[in-house]
């Protein structure tokens, strides 16, 4: 487990240089033995440390930490339109924003965490992420319309992420219905949208995004499907998560404003262009265990998947179904 002190030590080590146990102990006000103990624990969160006897500690493959100032600087003037908070560790950024929503306004609030201890995926799954090697954040956004209007929101968010990753230099990342991000058919990120409010509105959407930035092999083992990370596409660019988050937030902002005016219809064509399984043969696994096969026609204006089954069109809403290549 990583304690706040663990994060304080890792921040110092994030420059990749050797730091003596004495210096680390003095900087954090604990004993050298405690420094050693805390750093050992940090390895369980995904960091690899080199210990040089008699000299000190060095982070192997150092990565710049998430940093609010850096995110705000990269966002420029747009930063004033969002409330941005960086946390070392929370159970889940989405859970935390939903909790806060009960007592405060979380509209336009961004919560990004270096580490989630209980990250959640779609359909009740866990979301595996590692400190320093993932980008996990949630954004609260209030819509005047009700929950029905938001059916295609997670797909529109996928478009925003696709645009942002293109702009950040990670080409060829595609979408997979309903809201996975994939690279060469391996999952690289996911979107989880949770909505609270009345059916007729207004509604609060908590938009959770998780991206694999540099996933160590051990973390991949925990995930029950083929996964990849941004470092596999471009190792150098993947290091700067602060810049990447700023690019994503700017694209998200524009997409959410447009969505509030025009709904998902405004994004259908682009979503289909970005879909890894567009016009491909697929199987849809239904909650009762049955399977529907067909060719992907596309998505409709509510974000439902449309299949062609021997000349017959069938429609699936995301809920409990899951999609496989045919």
Which parts of this chain interact with ligand BTN (CB under 6 A)?
92-94, 116, 119-122, 125, 127, 136-138, 180, 190-192, 208-210
Q: Which is nearer to ligand BTN, 227 or 255 (CB)?
A: 227
Q: 2-17 burial, b if ≥16 CB within 10 A, otherwise e? A: beebbbbbbebbbeee
Give the integer Cα–Cα distance in Å for 307 and 300. Answer: 11
State yes or no: cis peptide before 32, omega within 30 of 0: no
Residue facing ligand BTN at closest CB distance:
190
Token pair for residue 212?
């694999």
Asked if residue 168 lies in contact with residue 243, where contact means CB atoms within 8 angstroms, the answer is: yes
Specify the DSSP class assigned to residue 222.
T
Q: In the bound complex, what is the minimum distance in angstroms from residue 38's beta carbon to ligand BTN?
A: 25
Give the integer Cα–Cα distance in Å for 125 and 180. Answer: 14
Give the integer Cα–Cα distance in Å for 243 and 312. Answer: 46
Residue located via tokens 């096969």: 293
Q: Which is nearer to ligand BTN, 122 or 163 (CB)?
A: 122
Token pair for residue 68?
């609010």
Q: Which is nearer to ligand BTN, 80 or 225 (CB)?
A: 225
Q: In the bound complex, what is the minimum distance in angstroms from residue 270's beta carbon to ligand BTN?
A: 20
Half-sphere exposure of 36 (CA within 13 A, CB side): 12
Q: Which is nearer to ligand BTN, 19 or 176 (CB)?
A: 176
Q: Give every strand in the sheet of 281-285, ordered side by side.
A: 312-316, 305-309, 291-299, 281-285, 322-325
Q: In the bound complex, what is the minimum distance in angstroms from residue 80's beta carbon to ligand BTN?
A: 24
Q: Which is nearer to ligand BTN, 42 or 134 (CB)?
A: 134
Asked if residue 77 lies in contact with residue 69, where contact means CB atoms within 8 angstroms, the answer is: no
Q: In the bound complex, what is the minimum distance in angstroms from residue 36's beta carbon to ligand BTN?
A: 31
Q: Which is nearer to ligand BTN, 40 or 324 (CB)?
A: 324
Q: In the bound complex, what is the minimum distance in angstroms from residue 127's beta carbon to ligand BTN?
A: 4
Give the integer Cα–Cα distance in Å for 220 and 302. Answer: 33
Q: In the bound complex, what is the minimum distance in angstroms from residue 278's beta carbon to ligand BTN?
A: 19
Angular region, 16: left φ>0, alpha ψ -120 to 50, beta rest:
left
Q: In the bound complex, what is the minimum distance in angstroms from residue 52's beta carbon to ligand BTN?
A: 35
Q: Which is nearer to ligand BTN, 121 or 216 (CB)?
A: 121
Q: Which is nearer to ligand BTN, 42 or 116 (CB)?
A: 116
Q: In the bound complex, what is the minimum distance in angstroms from residue 263's beta carbon to ligand BTN?
A: 22
Regarding beta strands 56-60 and 48-52, do their DSSP bridges make them parallel or antiparallel, or are they unpaired? antiparallel
First-to-last alpha carbon distance for the chain, in angstroms, is 41
């Amino acid at each position: 487990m990583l304690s706040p002190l663990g994060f304080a030590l890792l921040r110092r080590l994030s420059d990749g240089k050797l730091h003596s146990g004495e210096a680390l102990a003095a900087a954090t006000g604990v004993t050298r033995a405690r420094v050693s103990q805390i750093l050992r624990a940090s390895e369980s969160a995904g960091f690899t440390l080199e210990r040089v006897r008699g000299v000190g500690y060095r982070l192997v493959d150092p990565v710049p930490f998430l940093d609010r100032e850096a995110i705000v600087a990269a966002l420029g003037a747009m930063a004033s339109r969002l409330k941005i908070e960086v946390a070392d560790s929370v159970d889940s950024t989405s859970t935390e924003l939903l909790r806060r929503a009960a007592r405060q306004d979380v509209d336009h609030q961004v919560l990004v965490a270096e580490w989630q201890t209980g990250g959640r995926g779609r359909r009740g799954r866990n979301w595996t992420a590692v400190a320093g090697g993932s980008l996990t954040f949630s954004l609260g956004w209030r819509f005047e319309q009700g929950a029905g209007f938001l059916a295609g929101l997670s797909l529109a968010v996928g478009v925003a992420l696709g645009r942002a990753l293109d702009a950040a230099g990670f080409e060829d990342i595609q979408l997979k219905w309903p809201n996975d991000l994939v690279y060469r058919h391996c999952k690289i990120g996911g979107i989880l949208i949770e909505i609270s409010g009345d059916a007729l509105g207004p509604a609060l959407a908590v938009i959770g995004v998780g991206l694999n930035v540099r996933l160590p092999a051990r973390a991949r083992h925990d995930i029950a499907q083929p996964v990849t990370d941004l470092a596999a596409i471009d190792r150098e660019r993947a290091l700067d998560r602060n810049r990447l988050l700023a690019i994503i937030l700017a694209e998200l902002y524009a997409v959410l404003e447009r969505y509030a005016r025009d709904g998902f219809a405004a994004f259908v064509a682009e979503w289909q262009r970005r879909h890894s399984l567009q016009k491909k043969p697929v199987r849809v696994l239904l909650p009762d265990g049955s399977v529907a096969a067909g060719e992907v026609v596309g998505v409709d204006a509510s974000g439902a998947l449309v299949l062609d089954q021997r000349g017959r069109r069938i429609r699936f809403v995301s809920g409990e179904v899951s999609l496989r290549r045919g």
